[in-house]
Structure 1
Amino acid sequence: MATYKKKYKAKTKAEKEHNIEEGSTTAEVFNTLDETASKTEAFVEKNQKYIFIIIGLVALVVLGSLGYKEYIAKPKQEAAMNDMFQAQKYFDQAVNGVAKDSLFNLALNGGEGKFGMLDIISEYSGTPSANLASYYAGTAYLKLKDYKNAVEHLSNFKSDDEILAALAKGNIGDAFVQLDQKEDALSYYEQAAEMRNNEYTTPMYLHKAGAIALDLGKADKALTYFKRIKDDYPTSTEAANVDVFIGKAQVLANK
């Protein structure tokens, strides 16, 4: 069988010089890598105590966060929900039944050996239940005509809920009306109307904002709010008699 033999071709001088240069460059790269690795090893060896401390601290933070959520925050929230049950029941009974003042007081301060909303706020600070208790407490104070406490507790409530978020702002507006701080009331009614867009809270607070604006002599602003109700929320309760308010606002605006 014939065997293929590769012919050897002598390298030129230029090719030899190129190979030498290429080899030198490769050697330099490896030398640089070796030097870098040596420096890194030296740095790690010198500072390994501090590196291990940093790694340990990071691990503690991560594990601590997970542990806090699982073994502290979660059980605390569950306990808060259980302790809040009776106070919430009193609140619901006050809204839907008779003897409202006494029931709102029980919702605030507790009864039958159970926590009230104020206890929940104090004992379970930082939990979702304590946040919700601020809404209930503020609304209860509003119903009891303690308007300053109503503003304080409702201002502490934070929520993304479609209805509650707007109601909290609107309730603050109601409290400021009773405190005869009408400019503040208008501001909160406007916030309540703008923060959510639905058929319930939006037209309700547009109407309240329009009424206060009229009272403050801001007929143009009132007219804008009443027209929005007519145009955007024609099936709402507030739209039923909004033409009367539009007519009044137009008369005052043209004076």
Structure 2
Amino acid sequence: MATYNKRGYKPKTQKEKEVIEEQESTTAEIFETLDEGAGKTEEWVAKNQNVILYTVIAIAVIAAAIWAYTAFILGPKAEEALEESTQAFSFYEQAVNATGEEQDSLYNLALEGGEGKYGLIKLAENYSGTDAGNIANYQAGMAYLNLGGTNYQNAIDYLTAYDGDGSIMEAYAKAGIGDALMQVDQAEDAIKYYNEAADIVPNEFTTPKYLLKGAQAALLTGDNSTAIKNLERIEEEYETTPEAQTAKILLGQAQAASN
């Protein structure tokens, strides 16, 4: 290890002296650069201290506003929504398990309300931003979808407003939109929703089911390449599911049509 950089060391040769002088010069330049940088930073802070202060205050105010909204508005609103939603949610669950005219009646009660409580429509409108309001969007959409007739656009609107946050419920909602679009002769748009629904939570129940629906919609529109892609995926990844046999038949038709 070189010893000429130790304190008190005197260089013995001209070369050692030059090396020491070069090191000292480099060190001085580094500290000078650091001093200049620090000086510029201090100068910038001095010139912009009001901006910095206002920014800090603004952040604090926003944080306080979010906390206040959550604590004093959203919290009580969510509790109120949960209490208000019990009856509508009960009507909806009963409708799901009913049939015929009774089912339609229960879906309408769920939507409009009963026994002095809001229905799904009012829950979604008055309690937006709460879990109950979000669920009301989903249930209202599904209720309109099952009622059919002139209700398909309402189904699309409410299911679009629902935020499933990547859950299986989001897959159901996306597929529901696809079903409603098929009913209003918009098969081309339905393909997108079926394929999205298939991949939200991949599994052996919903994925092949929605891939098959997407393929069938694609065949209706003449989009054979999408149909083939969906059907081949069912055969390759979900060969033991009930949809696989139908996929095999449709795949032959799609391949023949594309030649």
Is 1:248 aligned to 2:241, yes or no?
Answer: no
Measured after TM superposition, the shift of residue 216 of structure 1 is 1.5
Report % sequence identity: 40
Cα distance in 2 for partners of 1:177, 1:52 equals 57
Match of 1:239 in 2: 244
Query: Residue 162 of structure 2 contacts residue 173 of structure 2 at CA under 8 Å; is this kept in 1?
Result: yes
Cα distance change, pair 59–94 in 1 and its aligned pair in 2 (3 A): same
The 2-side partners of 1:95 and 1:136 are apart by 10
Distance 1:58 1:182 in 2: 48
Does residue 1:84 correspond to 2:85, yes or no? yes
> Number of residues paired by the alignment?
217
- Pairing of 1:70-219 with structure 2 (within 5 A): 70-98=71-99, 99-145=102-148, 146-219=151-224
Give the TM-score of the pair, scaled to structure 1.
Answer: 0.75
5+ residue gaps, structure 2: 1-34
Q: Distance in 2 between matches of 1:107 and 1:88?
A: 7
Query: Would the aligned equivalents of 2:204 and 2:241 in 1 still touch at CA under 8 Å?
Result: yes
1:21-72 deviation digits (Å, cap 9, x = unpaired): xxxxxxxx9xxx9xx8xx97xx99xx8xx99887766544333322221222
Is there any run of 5+ residues in structure 1 with no aligned partner, and where? 1-28
Q: Who is 1:13 aligned against?
A: none
Please list, as runs of the form range in 1=range in 2, the aligned pairs for 1:44-55 lying within 5 A after superposition. none
Q: Is the 8 A contact 2:166 2:200 kept in 1?
A: no
In 1, Cα distance between equivalents of 2:184 and 2:57: 56
Give CA deviations for 1:194-233 in whole Å, capped at 9, x if unaligned. 3332222211110001111111222232122111111111
Q: Please give the alpha-carbon distance, in whole angstroms, between the structure 1 residues aligned to 2:159 and 2:139.
A: 8
Q: Is the 8 A contact 2:168 2:200 kept in 1?
A: no
Larger CA Rg, structure 1 vs 2: 1
- CA distance in structure 1 between the aligned counterparts of 2:76 and 2:234, rounded to whole angstroms: 45
**C-alpha separation between the residues in 2 aligned to 1:58 and 1:160?**
28
Q: What is the TM-score normalised by the length of structure 2? A: 0.74
Looking at structure 2, the residues matched to 221 and 101 of structure 1 have their Cα atoms a distance apart, in angstroms, of 36
Shift of the 97–183 alpha-carbon distance from structure 1 to 2, 3 Å rule, reads: same
Secondary structure at 2:118 match in 1:
coil
1:66 aligns with 2:67: yes
Distance in 2 of aligned mates of 1:249 and 1:56: 63
